[in-house]
Each structure stands twice: as C-alpha cells, then as structure tokens.
Amino acid sequence: MMRFGIRKFISIICAALLISSASILCLTGASTAKKDDYIKYAEFNVTYPALEKAMNIDIATNEEQIHLSWIDILAYLGAKYGGDFKKYKENDMDELTEKLNSGEKLEKLTADMKYYSYYREVYSAVLGGLLGEYTEYSEENGKITTEKKYGLKAYCPIAATFPYSEFDDFGASRSYGYQRLHLGHDMMCAVGTPIICIEDGTVECLGWNQYGGWRIGIRSNDKKRYYYYAHLRQNRPYHADIEEGKEVKAGEVIGYAGRTGYSTTENVNNIETTHLHWGLELVFDESQKESDNEIWINLYSLTMLLAKHKSETVRVPETKEYYSLSQEH
C-alpha cells in the first residue's frame, strides 16, 4: 500500500507540473512561435550591373532631400523578378527611382508585392554593412591623410596592387572528404598576398580546419554576416595582431594567402593552386551557425563590387608584416 501511495503521489505531482508547464507555454506561446520565425533559406543572385547602379544611386542621393536606399531598390526588383536577376532591366530601376524622386512612397509601390519584406530582409543581411560613412586613408610623399566619405566602406579581400584572377565557381563540385558543393568564392593569387578584413567585426574562429586549412572566421557587428577566409599561408598564416575574440576593422590586414588544407594534419599544403577562398554565411538565427542548415551565398558579383574599394598596404621589413594605412605599425 505504501508503494502504491508513493506512486500515486508522484503521478499527481507530475500531472500538476505538466498542467503548470502547459499554462506557461500558453502564456508564452506567441513569443515561442515567433522565436522560430526566421529565414531558413536564401539566395543572392543580384547581378553586378544592378548592384553597382543601385549603389551609385544611393551614394548620389545621400545628401539629397530624398535619399534612395540601394537595399530598398534591390529588394523591390528582387520581389518583381522573384529573385531572378537574369530578368534585370536597367529601365526597371530607372522607373522606380523616378517614382521615388517624384514623391511616391515605397510602401505604396510595394503594397501588392507579397515577398518584398522577405527580399528586403535577405538583401539587408547581405549588404547591410557595406555602404555608409567611413574614413578613407591615403599616402602621399610619406604622409598619411584621411578623408571622411560616404560610399562603399567594405573592402576587397585582396590588398591593393596585388594581382588575382577569379571566375564564378559557386556550386562547383568538391570531393575531398565527401562529395559536396563549393560554397564560397576563390581568388587565385600569389603566396603571401595580404588578405584584407572586408568589414568591421570580431574574430570568432581561428586555427586549422581540414577542409580550409589555416582559416579565419569574422562575424559582422550586427551578427548577420559570418566571413570565412581559408587556405592561408603555411607556417605564418595570420597577421601578428590577429587573435580569437579581437575586434577588427574593415581594411586591416588579417592574414596571407596560401594553399593549406585538405588534410587532418595541421600546416599541410594539399591545395594545388594558391588562392584565397572566402565565403559569406548569412545568420538569421544563432541555431543556423554550425548546423546542417547554413546559408552560404554566391559572391561573384559582390566580389566584383568590392574590387572598387581596395586597401592600401605597407610592408615593415623588420617583421615582414603588411599593414593597412589605418593600422598602427
């Protein structure tokens, strides 16, 4: 009887806890559902001509009464084309900007576009940290000067004056370890080419990865973008100032190109051609990081755009380190 009584007592307590839990779940149901309401799939197929034109419109209207956001413009076209920028026509962008400049409201123009808000969120995640106010550094007669600007404040991942070649290789087949798709963009260059931090952020990851070799992972300040730089140089892959947890600035030298990777053994050159692999992962929820549902985007057109803004570097002979003009050395 005692054993039965204890079991019955435990059953009553468990039932009470379940009821209590259900009540709490009901009270917090809205927030619980909302927590899972984030973008789980996205593509970025905006062509270079569309990117460049939208960016130039944004820059040109920055100090005008009506400032036209390149993200708004591209999101409108994304909704119009269903994300397929093979349908892009320059006249479509011209017609939109004419309407906005004449005083028509974007809210009205997009009212019947079911997926406008989706494309705006996706394109904001991709482009959110690339345009804005920044300080441009230049050197003349050994003197470094600065100038405040509004424009493309993100940098090409390859330093100025260093040659590279590229092609659209996103989605190409890779077989090391297992059959998979190439989820980044390769820039062929010489060993030791300075690699540049594309935008401000924090070093989240540093060290060896059997696929990427010596690599760096940098998270943007708004947490939406995770930049991945891989196949860095053997023996001295990183800039001396780089460490995990460090805050880094756009334009800084973070490492050097090489051909490490494709090995479980550290510091091995198993990549045939020297190049920088850089990738961009979009993060709409922290559960997407390090998961089977990561969102990596095609960077071909974006890399072409970033080539318009390259970081000038100087080499310190004593340490053999390269520094951007904005870095102390």
Q: What is the mean pLDDT of the chain?
A: 89
The secondary structure of residue 262, as a DSSP letter, is: S
Structure tokens at 72: 């708004």
pLDDT of residue 148: 96
Q: 288-301, pLDDT tens digit by residue?
A: 999 999 999 999 99
Q: Read off the pLDDT band of 314 (50, 70, 90).
A: very high
pTM score, whole prediction: 0.87
Question: Where does the chain show beta strands of DSSP type E?
Answer: 131-140, 143-152, 165-166, 173-174, 180-181, 185-188, 194-196, 201-209, 213-220, 225-230, 247-248, 253-256, 275-282, 295-296, 313-316, 321-324
Q: What does the alpha-carbon distance between residue 54 and residue 70 come to, in Å, rounded to a whole number?
A: 5
* Phi, psi of 10, rounded to the nearest 5 degrees: -65, -40
Q: 35-80, pLDDT tens digit by residue?
A: 678 999 999 999 999 999 999 999 999 999 999 999 999 999 999 9
Q: Tell me which of 87 and 19 has the higher pLDDT.
A: 87
User: 123, 46 in Cβ contact below 8 A?
Assistant: yes
Q: 213-239, pLDDT tens digit by residue?
A: 999 999 999 999 999 999 999 999 999
